[in-house]
Amino acid sequence: MPHDFMPGLAGIPAAKSAVSDVDGERGVLEYRGIRVEELCKRSSFLETTYLLLFGRLPDEATLNKWQQDIIHHRRVKYSIIDLMKCLPEQGHPMDALQAAVAALGMYYPGRNVQDFDNNYWSAVRLVAKLPTIVAAWARLRRGDDAIPPRDELGFSDNFFYMLTETIPPPVWADIFDDCLILHAEHTMNASTFTGLVTASTLADPYTVVASSIGALKGPLHGGANEEVVQMLKDIGSADQARHYVEEQVRKKKKLMGFGHRVYKVKDPRATILQNLCDTLFKTCGTSPLYSIALAVEQAAGETLHGKAVYPNVDFYSGIIYDKMGIDTDLFTPIFAMARVSGWLAHWLEQLRENKLFRPDQIYAGEHNRPYVPVDQRR
């Protein structure tokens, strides 16, 4: 059989999907055919999750039911909290999230993935419970009690409440909701693909999401948002940006929050997030990281000229979360809280025509080597 090996499977379609689409030349991202700019302006995160999962905007009654279903499943069992209390507090929150999500699968009937009703409630539980787990871990590791969700609060307000025991200004909740919309889905990225490989074995959705969380953690994927904030802090001031960028490029190192396999122009999510920074700073003053970020973007544009390397979704999101007082190592778990809807949308789609992922390889080793006994090996 002829093989065209593409490292990283670049450009190789792994699925047919109607969940989302990226036009990397024009910088357009659509969820179920609707542009993300439109969704940020007119939708909410929860409505967007419904759109992604079920392929259509819900009517009013369906939306209300979806929101109520999520509210009623936000709580996590006390034994999940107990489990997290046993984890080392210096551990990364993505590891705590992955462990807790894998453990959720031991409580809920998710194994029969051919049962739509089961799958609906699995999706509800996962979208509803991830924020509770993320917020609980953020508190437990400091020795504080986890705060249970409050039913009358919307998705973003409730997350801030569980994290800080305070309700944020309305404009913060709106901005955070938009951030979640922008992180909810992005075609066949590494974490979605990972989840689909796991799902193709007909594993339960908690295992699927736990494997996606593992893939999202790495710095080339969702982990980049943490690294961006660290990079901006290391640069220290806007006037150091050009020197830093030139040095990185000279050393052939990557600028975190830049570049994308698909976008050959600026990621549309980065543009929206930049506008959200401006809106946020009107309410609470600017962030010193922002002026450094702008200087890095300009220097990168000039230094990497011709390479089609522009800011991606991870470049400006961390600046927003940092200004809202959120710990840097929670940025990727927040990404996961949003992306779980995209992962599950692909999972539901794949289940309709599932085929086990079992790619090929090009064997590059030797054949017919003799077995050498241990006392004769050099």
Point out the residues that are catalytic.
260, 314
Give the SS3 label for residue 131.
helix
Of the residues 240, 261, 301, 354, which one makes contact with ligand CMC according to CB under 6 A: 261
Of the residues 194, 212, 274, 312, which one makes contact with ligand CMC according to CB under 6 A: 312
The nearest distance, CB 324 to ligand CMC, in angstroms, is 20
Residue by residue, what is the 3-state secondary structure of 55-103? CCCCCHHHHHHHHHHHHHCCCCCHHHHHHHHCCCCCCCHHHHHHHHHHH
Q: Does 192 participate in binding ligand CMC (rule CB under 6 A)? A: no
Give the number of C-alpha atoms closer than 13 A to the C-alpha of residue 311, restricted to the C-beta side.
Answer: 22
Distance CA 195, CA 17 (A): 14
Q: Does 280 participate in binding ligand CMC (rule CB under 6 A)? A: no
Residues 201-220 contacting ligand CMC, CB under 6 A:
220
Q: What is the DSSP letter of 152?
A: T
In angstroms, the Cα distances linking 10 to 260, 306, 309, 317, 333 are: 11, 20, 16, 26, 26
**Which of these segments, 12-20, 255-263, 276-284, 286-294, binds ligand CMC (CB under 6 A)?**
255-263
Q: Does 268 participate in binding ligand CMC (rule CB under 6 A)? A: no
Q: Does 32 participate in binding ligand CMC (rule CB under 6 A)? A: no
The nearest distance, CB 87 to ligand CMC, in angstroms, is 24
In angstroms, the Cα distances linking 357 to 6, 35, 128, 168, 216 are: 17, 30, 29, 44, 20
In angstroms, the Cα distances linking 276 to 87, 138, 234, 320 are: 35, 25, 24, 8
Answer whether 177's CB lies under 8 Å from 267's CB. no
The nearer residue to ligand CMC, 92 or 254, going by C-beta atoms, is 254
Q: Does 25 participate in binding ligand CMC (rule CB under 6 A)? A: no
Q: Does 221 participate in binding ligand CMC (rule CB under 6 A)? A: yes
Q: How many of the chain's residues bind ligand CMC (CB under 6 A)?
A: 20
**Which of these segments, 169-177, 254-262, 270-278, 357-365, binds ligand CMC (CB under 6 A)?**
254-262
Q: Does 314 participate in binding ligand CMC (rule CB under 6 A)? A: yes
Report the 10 Å Cβ neighbour count for 193: 18
Q: Does 309 participate in binding ligand CMC (rule CB under 6 A)? A: yes
Q: Does 136 participate in binding ligand CMC (rule CB under 6 A)? A: no
The nearer residue to ligand CMC, 13 or 88, going by C-beta atoms, is 13
Q: Does 9 participate in binding ligand CMC (rule CB under 6 A)? A: no
Q: Does 222 participate in binding ligand CMC (rule CB under 6 A)? A: yes
Task: Tell me whether strands 34-35 and 20-23 are parallel, antiparallel or unpaired.
Answer: unpaired
Residue nearest ligand CMC, Cβ-based: 259
Q: Does 256 participate in binding ligand CMC (rule CB under 6 A)? A: yes
Of the residues 132, 189, 198, 274, which one makes contact with ligand CMC according to CB under 6 A: 189
Of the residues 101, 203, 313, 319, which one makes contact with ligand CMC according to CB under 6 A: 313
The nearest distance, CB 228 to ligand CMC, in angstroms, is 7
Q: Does 224 participate in binding ligand CMC (rule CB under 6 A)? A: yes
Answer whether 342's CB lies under 8 Å from 215's CB. no
Backbone φ and ψ of 348, nearest 5°: -60, -40
The nearer residue to ligand CMC, 177 or 297, going by C-beta atoms, is 297
Q: Which residues pair with 22 in a beta bridge?
A: 29
**Sign of the torsion angle spanned by Cα atoms 199, 197, 133, 187:** negative
Of the residues 105, 214, 259, 333, which one makes contact with ligand CMC according to CB under 6 A: 259
Query: Closest by alpha carbon to 290, among 222, 229, 224?
Result: 229
Answer whether 133's CB lies under 8 Å from 329's CB. no
The nearer residue to ligand CMC, 168 or 222, going by C-beta atoms, is 222
Residues that bind ligand CMC (CB under 6 A): 8, 189, 220-222, 224, 254-261, 304, 307, 309, 312-314
